[in-house]
């Protein structure tokens, strides 16, 4: 008697759009909460870890941002390792590991001995933990954006991808808000002695929530099986893929093998470099710049950063939704041109003693909103450049490389150049220059890329 044929394997259940949105974006909140805290407390960390008695405070701040930059160069490695894991074993596995590593490293920073206790080993331990954070953060973006865009409803990839950037803004806001609250409640001596540790320790419960949500996601043994099913059958909404021209001219990884993916990664870096540079300049580096260059108080600098991040957060989701209607290219070109034209005037307004507090606050919010125009469509733009089989790896690498070069080095470059040139416009020139360099790459986008199905 012949054996009965084996029952077909049960199909892998794709997560609902809402569950994918929450689980995909919550880890980004934890990651960027820590970056907001680190950026807000850069001067405190410089004093506690990089300034022996009698040391140069400006030099210590440069060393603090050097540790910040080194961590960013571990991002491409994380993007490659976690991206391959996400593309082969499933999005959930990579996302669970990424948020676990990030939470552990951030919490450990909160208990690190400072220079006064551990001596020269203290800054090395801090740099090591920042490197672990960079490695895990590099793996976070690719898996999260893939999950968000692949499970987005028809015509909403931009808005769903924008949630990744929105939780970045919320994380930065929360980090800056916690830092500002502590700076208000505690004396300066208490803040420098132990108060700065509290925000890092808060990462533990935040990370536990993120981990719990991600563990509830269904695993996708073959990530491609769940990729954008709604997009594929939209009549009249996308040019058929068979009619698509080869992606070489437009930076899509259509060519077989690693060559096409590599070309798309390089072009992806070019398309988002302005977002990376301007975002870190005005949203993360701003507190220490205002203190070191303009002589503002710690509380004033944090308040300014909080306002800039409010404008950033408010613009992201509308920008992502707008890009679903008019295209990624139009929205990101508009944001880049606005940064180029207004970056220097923004700093002039902040430096002008005759400008009212209300006018300065409005200027900061507007500067944040301009960056939101870049961050809203950015995740979907990258997702649309790569096929499912390499999407997490490809978009993660493009994002990680752009951030390593143009974000991680922003604080180091800006602080060092301001010190050596005495030009207070350096941050604005840095942001505007990166946006100008990104324009040719953005112009290679097709106006209808947002309407084409994910591959």
Contact 434, 273 (CB under 8 A): yes
Residues of the chain with pLDDT > 90, as a percent, come to 30
Structure tokens at 77: 């490695």
Calpha distance 166→161 (Å, rounded)? 9
Instruction: Judge contact between 430 and 277, C-beta under 8 A.
Output: yes
User: What whole-number distance in Å separates Cα of residue 40 and Cα of residue 46?
Assistant: 11
Tell me the H-state helices in 202-285.
203-215, 229-232, 257-283
The domain spanning residue 182 has which CATH number?
1.20.1250.20
Structural domain tally of the chain?
1
What is the pLDDT confidence band of residue 59, given thresholds at 50, 70 and 90? low
Inside any domain, residue 238: no
430 vs 274: CA distance, rounded Å: 9
Res 331: pLDDT: 96
Which range, of 174-188, 381-395, 422-436, averages the lowest pLDDT? 174-188
Token pair belonging to 276: 């990376």
Assigned domain for 163 exists: yes
Residue 407, token pair as written in the block? 């974000």
Q: Is the pLDDT of residue 238 over 60?
A: no
Range of the domain at 196: 17-228+254-451
- Position 196 in a domain: yes
Burial class (CB in 10 A: 0-12, 13-18, 19+), 197: middle
Instruction: Tell me how far apart the alpha carbons of residues 305 and 307 are, in angstroms, rounded to a whole number.
Output: 5
Question: What does the alpha-carbon distance between residue 248 and residue 255 come to, in Å, rounded to a whole number?
Answer: 7
For residue 175, the Cα-to-chain-centroid distance in whole angstroms is 14
Q: How confident is the model at residue 220 (pLDDT cuts 50, 70, 90)?
A: low
pLDDT tens readout for residues 355-376: 888 888 899 899 999 999 999 9
8 is a domain residue: no
Q: How far is CA 33 from CA 50, 64, 103, 204, in A?
A: 22, 18, 11, 12
Query: Is 233 domain-assigned?
Result: no
Answer whether residue 235 is part of any domain.
Answer: no
Largest CA distance in the chain: 95
**What stretch of H or E contains 112?**
none
Q: Is residue 12 part of a domain?
A: no
Whether 145 contacts 24, CB under 8 Å: yes
Question: What's the pLDDT score for residue 395?
Answer: 92
- The reply to whether 9 falls in a domain is no
Tens digit of pLDDT for each residue in 401-418?
Answer: 998 888 777 777 777 787
Confirm if 265 and 394 have CB atoms less than 8 A apart.
Answer: yes
């Amino acid at each position: 008697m012949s054996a009965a044929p084996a029952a077909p394997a049960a199909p892998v259940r794709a997560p609902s759009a809402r569950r994918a949105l929450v689980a995909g974006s919550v880890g980004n909140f934890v990651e960027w909460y820590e970056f907001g805290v680190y950026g807000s407390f850069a001067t405190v960390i410089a004093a506690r870890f990089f300034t022996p008695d009698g040391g140069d405070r400006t030099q210590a701040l440069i060393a603090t941002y050097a540790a910040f930059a080194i961590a960013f160069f571990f991002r491409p490695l994380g993007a490659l390792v976690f991206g391959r894991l996400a593309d082969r074993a499933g999005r959930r596995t990579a996302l669970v590991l990424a948020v676990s590593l990030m939470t552990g490293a951030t919490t450990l920073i909160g208990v690190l001995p400072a220079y006064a206790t551990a001596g020269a080993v203290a800054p090395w331990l801090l740099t090591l933990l920042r490197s672990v954070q960079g490695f895990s953060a590099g793996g976070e973006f690719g898996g999260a954006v893939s999950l968000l865009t692949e499970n987005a409803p028809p015509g909403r990839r931009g808005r769903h991808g924008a949630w990744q950037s929105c939780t970045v803004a919320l994380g930065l806001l929360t980090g800056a808000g916690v830092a500002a609250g502590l700076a208000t409640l505690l004396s300066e001596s208490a803040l420098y002695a132990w108060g700065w540790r509290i925000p890092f320790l808060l990462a533990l419960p935040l990370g536990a929530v993120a981990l719990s949500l991600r563990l509830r996601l269904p695993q996708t043994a073959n990530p491609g099986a769940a990729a954008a099913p709604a997009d594929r059958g939209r009549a009249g909404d996308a040019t058929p893929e068979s009619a698509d021209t080869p992606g070489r001219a437009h930076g899509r990884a259509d060519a077989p093998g690693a060559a096409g993916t590599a070309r798309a990664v390089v072009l992806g870096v070019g398309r988002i470099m302005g977002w990376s540079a301007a975002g870190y300049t005005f949203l993360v580096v701003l507190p220490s710049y205002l203190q070191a260059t303009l002589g503002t108080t710690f509380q004033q600098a944090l308040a300014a950063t909080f306002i800039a991040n409010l404008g950033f957060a408010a613009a992201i989701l509308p920008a992502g939704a707008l890009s679903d209607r008019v295209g990624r290219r139009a929205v990101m070109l508009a944001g880049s041109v606005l940064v180029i034209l207004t970056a220097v005037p923004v700093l002039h307004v902040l430096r002008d003693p005759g400008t009212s507090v209300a006018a300065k606050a409005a200027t900061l919010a507007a500067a944040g909103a301009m960056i939101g125009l870049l961050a809203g469509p950015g995740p979907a733009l990258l997702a649309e450049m790569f096929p499912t089989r390499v999407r997490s790896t490809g978009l993660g690498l493009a994002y990680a490389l752009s951030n390593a070069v143009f974000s991680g080095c922003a604080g180091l470059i800006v602080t060092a150049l301001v010190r050596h040139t005495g030009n207070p416009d350096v941050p604005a020139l840095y942001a505007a220059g990166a946006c100008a360099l990104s324009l040719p790459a953005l112009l290679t986008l097709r106006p209808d890329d947002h309407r084409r199905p994910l591959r």
